[in-house]
Amino acid sequence: MKNDDVVEVSLFDWRYFYPVLFIFIFLFTIIIFNGMINDWGRLSNGIGVFRTFLSEDVLPPDWTVLEPLTYPVCTVEPRILDFTCSRAWIGMIETLKIAFVATVFGTILSLPISLLAARNLNTTEVSYIARFVLASFRSFPSLIWGIFFVILVGIGPTAGVLAMTVYTVGYLGKLQYEAIEGMSKSPLEASEVMGLTKLETAFQVVLPESANDLISQIIFMFEYNFRHGTVIGLVGAGGIGLYIDTAIKYLEYDRVIAYLIIIFIVVLIMDFISIKIRSLFTEEVGHSRPKWREVFFPAWMIKR
């Protein structure tokens, strides 16, 4: 009798060892953490310190940041809009402007580099050089680039725009070449056989085919830049961070917390808008696209 078709069955499976592995990794982490802590008592003190800090320094938030500055004199009519002359509003708008300009400049610079970096469009050598450029821009966070450009061009939004542009090129470039490499192979093969030039392929095949991903990433990058724009002011590169930095230096923590709450709310709104806009560009929403007013207003407001 032939026994070729009989397969030996055993209950042994490597997957049973995964929980053991996780426990081992966790214990290992605890050992490393213990090595870095010299006094566990400080962790328990932290709660008491936090309570004092909260009651004496931080609360209540100082909402004078939303009142108009004494100089320059606010001339906005009607008076209800005079918060647009406040520090928080000016700082926030400046942060938005920095994020917008940096995203647009960064996109313009990163698109050609990411087209060069995509391995399905170029030879390995070219793509590695382009990837090296992108990786070197990305290797420092925008905060470090901020310090660098503040030294070069001085304190202010110019340094912020330059710093964020450089970081955007590095980060967005990586996202974009990955999106381009993720596109289907056959349009590229078809255009290669037809004999289209590299530039034609890039502009007429690659960009239309991956446009949804690219636009979605640009919007994500704007949102990201906006969040980081609030931090970048701490090193003097403009935006609302500059006002937070000043407040921290004068130990006005109640003012700091007011700024932070404002940032939190605006970031939430920006995130919401960004998610909604990006949902227009992600795949297969169906035949009807969401309308623009659906992005800005909740459904119950539109439906009457």
Partner 1 sequence: MLFRNPSIPYKRLGSPKIIIYSGGDLLEKDLQQNEPIILLKDMVIGYSKEEPLVQIPNLKIYPGEIVAIVGPSGVGKSTLMKTIAGLVKPISGYAQVCGKIIPESPLRGKLGYIPQDLGLVKHASVIHNVMLGANAGHNKSIIPFIPIILPSLKAKEEATKSIISMGLKEKMYEPIKRLSGGQQRRVATARTLAQAPELIMADEFLSELDEETIAMVIGEVIEYIKISNAALLVVEHDIARARIMADRLLVIDDGRINPFITEITAMEVEV
Number of neighbours of residue 23 by Cβ within 10 angstroms: 10
Among 10, 52, 55, 186, binds partner 1 (CB under 8 A): 186
Cα–Cα distance measured from residue 193 to residue 125, given in angstroms and rounded to the nearest whole number: 23
Q: Which amino acid is at 98?
A: I
DSSP helix/strand/coil, 176 = helix
Residue among 79 and 287 whose Cβ is closer to partner 1: 287
182 touching partner 1, by CB under 8 A: no
CB of 194 to partner 1, least distance (A): 4
Residue among 38 and 288 whose Cβ is closer to partner 1: 288
Residue among 25 and 193 whose Cβ is closer to partner 1: 193
DSSP helix/strand/coil, 224 = helix
208 touching partner 1, by CB under 8 A: yes
Residue among 86 and 216 whose Cβ is closer to partner 1: 216
Q: Which DSSP helix (H) or strand (E) runs through 22?
A: helix 18-36
Q: Which amino acid is at 106?
A: G
2 touching partner 1, by CB under 8 A: no
Q: Tell me whether residue 297 is exposed, middle or buried, using C-beta atoms within 10 angstroms of its C-beta: 0 to 12, 13 to 18, 19 or more.
A: exposed
190 touching partner 1, by CB under 8 A: yes
User: With left for phi above 0 and alpha for psi between -120 and 50, is residue 123 left, alpha or beta?
Assistant: beta
Q: Tell me whether residue 242 is exposed, middle or buried, using C-beta atoms within 10 angstroms of its C-beta: 0 to 12, 13 to 18, 19 or more.
A: buried
59 touching partner 1, by CB under 8 A: no
Q: Per-residue x/- mask for partner 1, residues 138 to 177, rule CB under 8 A?
A: ----------------------------------------
CB of 121 to partner 1, least distance (A): 14
Q: Per-residue x/- mask for partner 1, residues 243 to 282, rule CB under 8 A?
A: ----------------------------------------
DSSP helix/strand/coil, 15 = helix
Of residues 233, 227, 229, the one with CA closest to residue 249: 233
Region from 66-74, 95-103, 187-195, 231-239 binding partner 1, contact rule CB under 8 A: 187-195
Residue among 62 and 181 whose Cβ is closer to partner 1: 181
Q: Give contact residues for partner 1 (rule: CB under 8 A).
A: 184, 186-200, 203-205, 208-209, 211-212, 284, 287
